[in-house]
Structure 1
Amino acid sequence: MQNPPTFPSTTAVVVVDMQNDTVHAEGAFASSGAAAHAASQDVVAHVAEILAAARTAGTVVLHNRIVVYPAAVGGENAPIFRMLGPESFAVGSWGAAIVDELAPVGQEIVLDRIRMSAFHGTPLDVMLRNLGITHLIVVGAWTNMAVEHTVRDAADHGYDVTIVSDATSSLSPEWQDAALNFALTNIATVTDTASVVAALRS
């Protein structure tokens, strides 16, 4: 784990897929280990801490969630997409909704998408650039899927990225370890919630 960063004023928090189907005990993927790993990470509470610190500091917060439309219009070209539907993340469903504890406040934007990266098919990059954002703090689920795709895409778009190890969760500890300690080590700064909160408050 690298040293905690000092965040510039041009920082935003991007919350990825903190939805009922990804982290809730009654979500569609609870039996696959997602809810258990989210609980072991205390991911909802940690993301809530970061959002509270960001909001107090006036840091931009944007939410992103994956949704599934009827009739496979989102595509089934890869296993990662086939595993999502049709019983999970359905547009307008409880499963697709952001968990209650992390509900957006005020004018915080929620962007929906049908691919893994929060940038793909959304106006996220345009919004960030319009706001003058250069650095992203990425939190959410799942680390080895949408979070990893988003972090890689953010780096390719020219953003500095911090990923928060205990404010992210996967389907298992093994997937979490693979993403944080192998896949993303050369892409982003990896730190923890306490360090992020301290930096946002400084």
Structure 2
Amino acid sequence: MEDNKREAQQIEQFTDVDPLRETYRESITDVPALQKSLERHNTALLCIDLQYLDAARGHGVFADAERSGVPIAAQEYYFDRLEHVVLPNVRRLQDAFRDNRLEVIHTRIQSLTQNGRDRGPGHKRLGLHAAPGSKEAEFIELVAPCGDEIVINKTASGVFNSTNIEYILRNLGITGLVVVGVYSNECVSTAIRDACDLGFYVTLVEDACATVTPELQQATITTMKDRYARVMTTHEIIDEIREVVTDE
């Protein structure tokens, strides 16, 4: 009984404390090289899976709302956040990056084949499939690629472990990534963890990503912040671009 009481007191003591926060912030998420990356045009905006498969009402995994596996209330939360907050903010970020000649890179779920036989095992088990040329593979128009912006197709949650994105980023001289998209707790957070482990300076834009419940959204922010990424708002990123990015 006494042991349980002591444990409860210890848990309460550290509920709002991250003892390693400053160590990670000083070494990983808030280092001078991060702003140097942006200043030298070596930071890219990475837009994850903003497509009809998983980000549009009545399409893809939400084609049959009742059978999607996501409760109707959660769907309403997700799409309300997407339509009124996330997609407009992603577009604002895209415009800011484009205006300053910074790379905008897009990922999407799309198979190499029409029947999806090349998909990763996880996507096969989940029944996730966007065939080339399908509506599900199309990007949401507001945040679709422009010009010759790079599009990377994937058939797994992690873009770094299922595509040649690292090779592409190294070729572009990219050292920093600003990450937006869906779902926050799945493909977005997987990309952030992998990018951080590979040495990229990562920023997660908290009001430009979404998932299906506010609890999962907050858990993602809490887990990523000051461990794998800076966490900033759209407004803060745009202000930083204006302050830091220099003319070439």
TM-score (norm 1): 0.86
Partner of residue 78 from structure 2, selected from 25, 34, 37: 37
- The higher relative CO (CA closer than 8 Å, separation ≥ 6) is in 1
The one-letter amino acid of 1:73's match is D
The one-letter amino acid of 1:8's match is E
Q: Retained in 2: the 8 A contact 1:164–1:191?
A: yes
Q: Deviations over 1:134-191 (max 9, x none)?
A: 1100111111110011101101111010010010011221211111112554111111
Q: Partners of 2:158 and 2:140 in 1: how far apart?
A: 20
- Compute the displacement of 1:201 (Å): 2.3
Q: Highest CA radius of gyration, 1 or 2?
A: 2
In structure 2, do the counterparts of structure 1 residues 81 and 164 end up closer, same or farther at CA, with 3 Å as the change threshold? farther
The one-letter amino acid of 1:165's match is E
Q: Partners of 1:136 and 1:150 in 2: how far apart?
A: 10
Q: How many aligned positions are there?
A: 197
- The answer to whether residue 96 in structure 2 is matched with residue 53 in structure 1 is yes
Worse-superposed segment, 88-97 or 26-35? 26-35
Structure having the larger proportion of residues in helix? 2
Structure having the larger proportion of residues in strand? 1
- The answer to whether residue 222 in structure 2 is matched with residue 145 in structure 1 is no
CA RMSD of aligned residues (A): 2.4
The one-letter amino acid of 1:162's match is T
Aligned to 2:133: 92
Give the share of equivalent positions with the same residue, in percent. Answer: 29
The one-letter amino acid of 2:118's match is V
1:53-132 equivalence runs, <5 A: 53-68=96-111, 69=113, 70=115, 72-76=117-121, 78=122, 82-85=125-128, 88-132=129-173
TM-score (norm 2): 0.72
- The answer to whether residue 238 in structure 2 is matched with residue 197 in structure 1 is yes
Q: Partners of 2:86 and 2:135 in 1: how far apart?
A: 19
